[in-house]
Amino acid sequence: MYKNPETKELKKLIEMSYVLDGNYNTMNVHKLDKFYDDRGIVVRPDYRGYGIALEFFKARRLICKEHGVTMTGAWMTAHGTQKSAQRDGWETVVTVDRDEFAKQMGVTYEPYSPTSIKYMLARIQI
């Protein structure tokens, strides 16, 4: 999927995403032929609180609907995206303890980050 990441930080981020992805296989669990997945939603800190994440979720639903995809998912690692996803009707299917994951991966998180990382799914009405 990723070709020759140039920095050790990017290599670690990719490794972390593969480890998280091993926690849940949406295609198998829900017996799907197609599914849209990504690494979450990111909004610049100085633009947070304006509903931008909700707009991203709306756009994502429209793209899924246009392509006949009935479910989409992402790992949500920030308070704002977790709350916005909940407001948009996403459901949490996996919760990973932040501190345990950090220890496993040999990384640290900022103290203000959520205590859990959530894999969340949205069902799309076609």
Tell me the per-residue pLDDT of 81-105, one tens digit each, with 9 for 90 and over. Answer: 999 999 999 999 999 999 999 999 9
Secondary structure of 61-122 as H, E, C letters: HHHHHHHCCCEEEEEECCHHHHHHHHHCCCEEEEEEEHHHHHHHHCCCCCCCCCCEEEEEEE
- The structural domains of the chain, with segments of one domain joined by +, span 8-123
Instruction: List the CATH code of the domain at 8-123.
Output: 3.40.630.30
Instruction: State how far the Cα of 27 lies from the Cα of 31, in Å rounded to an integer.
Output: 5
Please tell me the pTM assigned to this model: 0.88
Tell me the per-residue pLDDT of 44-94, one tens digit each, with 9 for 90 and over. Answer: 889 988 999 999 999 999 999 999 999 999 999 888 899 999 999 999 999
